[in-house]
Amino acid sequence: MIVITGAAGFIGSVLAKTMKSLYNGEIVLVDDFSRPEKESNLQALQGMMQLDRNMFFEWLSEGQSIDAIFHIGARTDTTEFDYSILEELNLDYTKKVWSYCAKNDTVLIYASSAATYGNGDFGYDDNHEVVERLQPLNPYGVSKNEFDIWALKQDKSPQHWYGLKFFNVYGPNEFHKARMASVIFHAFNQIQDKGEMRLFRSHNPNYRNGEQLRDFVYVKDVVSVIQFLFDRKPKNGLYNLGSGTARTFLDLTKSVFRSLDKEEKISFMDTPEDIRDKYQYFTEANMAKLISVGYSKPFTALEDGVSDYVQNYLLGRKNF
């Protein structure tokens, strides 16, 4: 039996459908299934057991035999400034999942975040030695980093555990994410509606408009890495999960225009004040650790990922 939390969300639903096609055992989906905007993600997941997240631990206490928990569920809103919400969902809830896995010899793969790296003063290396010195730029990043710090201090751990520092994940099944959806999703919609794309203006003298750099990683690659860790069970710890190559927002936007066979029309607007001081201008995952434990599959190039996402999913409003 495999449990996937956040299974009705973006990464969780793609992971659940993939595991359904590959895994012979039972797959249990955990989420807040009352949210109607996630309904389209659930349509391809029929036949799997569904558990409300508030009933999950009661169900676990009934003596289930679980091989692995893929804990993808979290509050991912980087504009959420009520830390008590993030503490409850991203920190306390995850501690309970960890404790169950440690007690019951259950593999744990959980979602951390590249938001833990803040402005990158300490680099983007998934080195355990720097975790306590990292300075995330928003409460979401703080909540993720606080759990990483807690996990590394535990005397009793799951036999196999992996915290994945997701960089900028994009791809199908993010229709429900609204403001938090990928820039590719927003670019597609703006170009279709208005024939143009407006990007955030740079407020950092070291970066020209549109040349802010991020590590964009396709959701299919994320799922591939999770499968690898579950199958191979390498050394425990935190692992970066990006493409390993930083690209500009202009690169991304131009790829969307090409995928739609439309003429480029790009303009710039001020970054909203509520996130301006918390904005990451550069992220790039150091993928050496994951490669060192045997992961050898190439990551999807941005242009190829955008083309697949736009042409095979967004244009027909199709889910994975």
Rg (CA), the chain: 19
Residue 263 placed within a domain: yes
Tell me: pLDDT of 275 over 90: no
227 — pLDDT class (breaks 50, 70, 90): very high
**DSSP β-bridge partners for residue 113:** 166
Are residues 180 and 209 in contact, defined by beta-carbon separation less than 8 angstroms?
Answer: no
178 vs 69, more confident: 69
Partners of 164 in the β-ladder: 111, 239
How many domains does the structure of the chain reveal? 2
Q: 111: closest CA among 165, 41, 188, 149?
A: 165
Which two three-digit tokens encode residue 260? 């739609």
In a domain, 297, yes or no: no
Angle between helices 249-259 and 302-309 (to 10 degrees): 40
Question: In which band, very low, low, confident or very high, does the pLDDT at 78 lie, cut at 50, 70 and 90?
Answer: confident
One domain, residues 7 and 118: yes
Q: pLDDT tens digit string along 6-62? A: 999 999 999 999 999 999 899 999 999 888 888 889 888 988 999 999 999 999 999
Query: Which range, of 46-50, 155-159, 185-189, 276-280, averages the lowest pLDDT?
Result: 276-280
Active site residue 177: yes
Mean pLDDT score, 73-92:
91
Q: Residue 197 corresponds to which tokens in the numbers above?
A: 């794309």
Set 20, 23, 83, 177: catalytic member = 177
Sequence-distant (≥ 6) Cβ neighbours of residue 171 within 8 angstroms: 10, 14, 182, 218, 219, 220, 305, 309, 313, 320
Q: Identity (one letter) of the amino acid at 259?
A: S
Mean pLDDT, the chain, integer: 95
Please give the pLDDT value at position 280: 87
Note whether 229 and 130 are same-domain residues.
Answer: yes
Residue range 212-220: average pLDDT?
A: 98
Per-residue pLDDT tens over the stretch 126-156: 999 999 999 999 999 999 999 999 999 999 9
Q: Which of 110, 124, 140, 218 is catalytic?
A: 140
First to last CA, the chain: 22
In a domain, 290, yes or no: no
Do 228 and 199 belong together in one domain? no
User: pTM for the full model?
Assistant: 0.95
Residue 168: how many other CB atoms lie within 10 Å: 20
Judge if 57 and 130 occupy the same domain: yes
Contacts of 49 (CB under 8 A, 6+ apart): 26, 27, 28, 29
For the domain that residue 278 is a member of, what is the CATH number? 3.90.25.10
**pLDDT, tens digit, 9 for 90 and up, residues 116-128:** 999 999 999 999 9
Residue ranges in 115-163 assigned as alpha helix (H): 139-152
Is 117 considered catalytic here?
A: no
Q: Are residues 20 and 157 in the same domain?
A: yes
CA dist 270 and 258 (Å) reads: 25
pLDDT of 178: 87
Whether residue 138 is found in the same domain as residue 280: no
**Is 292 part of any domain?**
no
Q: Are 51 and 191 within one domain? A: no
Inter-residue contact 1 to 25 (CB < 8 Å): yes
CA distance 149 to 138: 16
Q: Are 73 and 222 in a shared domain?
A: yes
My answer on whether 201 and 147 are in the same domain is no
* Within-domain flag for 80: yes
Segments forming the whole domain that contains residue 208: 171-213+246-284+304-314
Q: Is 291 a member of any domain?
A: no
**Residue 77: what pLDDT?**
85
> Are residues 153 and 26 both part of a single domain?
yes
Distance from C-alpha of 318 to C-alpha of 266, rounded to nearest angstrom: 26
Q: Is residue 293 part of a domain?
A: no
What's residue 130's pLDDT?
Answer: 97
What integer pLDDT is reported at residue 317 of this predicted model? 93
Query: What's CA 75's distance to the chain center, in Å?
Result: 11
123 and 237 housed in the same domain: yes
Residues 6+ apart with CB under 8 A from 16: 4, 7, 27, 29, 45, 48
Helices 10-22 + 219-232 axis angle, to 10: 50
> Residue 35's domain is classified under what CATH number?
3.40.50.720
> Does 220 lie in the same domain as 135?
yes
Residues 6+ positions from 118 with CB-CB distance below 8 Å: 134, 135, 136, 137, 141, 280
- Asked if 174 and 181 count as a contact pair (C-beta separation under 8 A), the reply is yes
Q: pLDDT confidence of 279, banded at 50, 70, 90?
A: confident
Please determine, for residue 157, whether its predicted confidence score (pLDDT) is greater than 90.
Answer: yes
Q: How many whole angstroms separate alpha carbon 174 and alpha carbon 38?
A: 9
Give a yes or no: residue 190 inside a domain: yes
